[in-house]
């Protein structure tokens, strides 16, 4: 009997301190893990296609596409690293130690913060492209966009290291037994994170896109009523290119889907609850947020013809040919 109990422990040598091994998954749970594994695989594969497309084809080297590339990198890391480890750790004891527990916990926070930052940058990019098209090419350049993307990732790393500094010092501080990897966000930390990574950026995104929407609607009305460009110059400054408007609509869908996925994840913060990352409710909300990373490339595929063309060239290995980077994609 004692041997049987020892076999059920994650660390049999720590009889009084070890966690029990998770019970074997039932058929319904097993199907859920298969589905989540499929989502992780599709997320990594589709976002890798986005990364290859924008990186390889010179015609796609624009400020807007660089922001999409940065977003795809964060989504790719989620599908390649975070999702698989989360699936495995749910049905197994944590044997990887405190250091990897800390890394495993902080990486999703960094990726989420960088994703929010990328969404803000995309909104700013579309704001200048639609509301101030005359100065867009001057204000938004490749070099400036690259600098903003780097700052976004650097700030995300620094910010999350600061709010999780206590956990990084003692990763096992909230573990009830050996074999767990648990982090608990208290109300104060949750409130700070709520303002910095949710309320403030989401407010900026909504305000900017409301302005973009107003300008887009006014331009559409002017074009339908055949109003001379002088009328539009009062509000826009110049006629917005059709391609810029289409990009604004596509990225608007991306932003809207992101808001729908991220809002439930921050709902517990809004009602003042402490959040245990390992809880079942938190796991569902986090997977909803992660699922957004799988939806982004699907949105590109359905709304961006250049992405479909690039996928065809990648799958058929035509990108291996010389001068394929100069292919006409747009």
> What tens-digit pLDDT sequence spans the chain (330 residues)?
445 555 567 766 665 667 776 665 555 667 878 888 899 999 999 999 999 999 999 999 999 999 999 999 999 999 998 888 888 776 667 777 778 888 888 888 899 899 999 999 999 998 998 888 888 889 999 999 999 999 999 999 999 998 888 878 877 776 667 767 777 666 677 678 878 888 899 899 989 988 888 887 776 676 666 554 444 444 444 455 677 777 778 888 888 888 888 888 777 666 655 555 545 566 777 788 888 899 999 999 888 899 999 999 999 988 988 888 888 887
Enclosing H/E stretch for 98: helix 97-131
- Considering the segment(s) 27-326 as one domain, its CATH architecture is Up-down Bundle (1.20)
Say if residues 114 and 153 touch (Cβ distance below 8 Å). Answer: yes
Domain boundaries, the chain: 27-326
Nearest to 306 by CA among 246, 216, 245: 246
Which position has the token pair 């796609």?
60
8 Å CB contact between 296 and 27: no
Q: Is 226 left (phi over 0), alpha (psi -120 to 50) or beta?
A: left
How far is the first Cα of the chain from the last one, in angstroms, to the nearest whole number? 69
């Amino acid at each position: 009997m004692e041997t049987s109990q020892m076999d059920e422990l994650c660390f049999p040598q720590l009889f009084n301190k070890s966690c029990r091994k998770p019970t074997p998954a039932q058929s319904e749970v097993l199907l859920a893990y298969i589905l989540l594994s499929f989502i992780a695989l599709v997320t990594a594969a589709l976002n890798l296609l986005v990364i290859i497309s924008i990186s390889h084809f010179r015609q796609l080297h624009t400020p807007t596409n660089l922001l999409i590339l940065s977003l795809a990198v964060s989504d790719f890391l989620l599908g390649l690293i975070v999702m698989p480890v989360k699936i495995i750790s749910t049905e197994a004891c944590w044997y990887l130690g405190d250091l990897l527990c800390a890394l495993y916990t902080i990486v999703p926070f960094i990726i989420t913060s960088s994703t929010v930052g990328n969404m803000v940058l995309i909104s700013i990019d579309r704001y200048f492209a639609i509301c101030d098209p005359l100065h867009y090419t001057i204000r938004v350049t490749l070099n400036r966009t690259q600098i903003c993307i780097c700052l976004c990732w650097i700030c995300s790393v620094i910010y999350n290291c600061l709010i999780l500094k206590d956990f990084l010092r003692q990763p096992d501080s909230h573990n009830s037994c050996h074999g767990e990897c648990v982090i608990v966000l208290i109300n104060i930390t949750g409130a700070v994170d709520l303002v910095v990574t949710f309320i403030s950026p989401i407010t900026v995104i909504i305000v900017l896109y409301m302005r973009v929407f107003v300008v887009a609607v006014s331009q559409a009305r002017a074009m339908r009523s055949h109003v001379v460009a002088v009328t539009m110059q009062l509000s826009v400054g110049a006629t917005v290119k059709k391609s810029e408007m289409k990009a604004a609509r596509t990225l608007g869908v991306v932003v809207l889907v992101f808001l729908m996925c991220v809002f439930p994840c921050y709902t517990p913060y809004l009602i003042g609850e402490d959040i245990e990352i390992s809880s079942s409710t938190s796991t569902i909300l986090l997977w909803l947020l992660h699922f957004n990373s799988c939806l982004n490339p699907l949105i590109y595929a359905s709304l961006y013809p250049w992405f479909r063309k690039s996928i065809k060239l990648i799958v058929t290995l035509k990108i291996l040919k010389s001068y394929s980077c100069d292919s006409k994609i747009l």
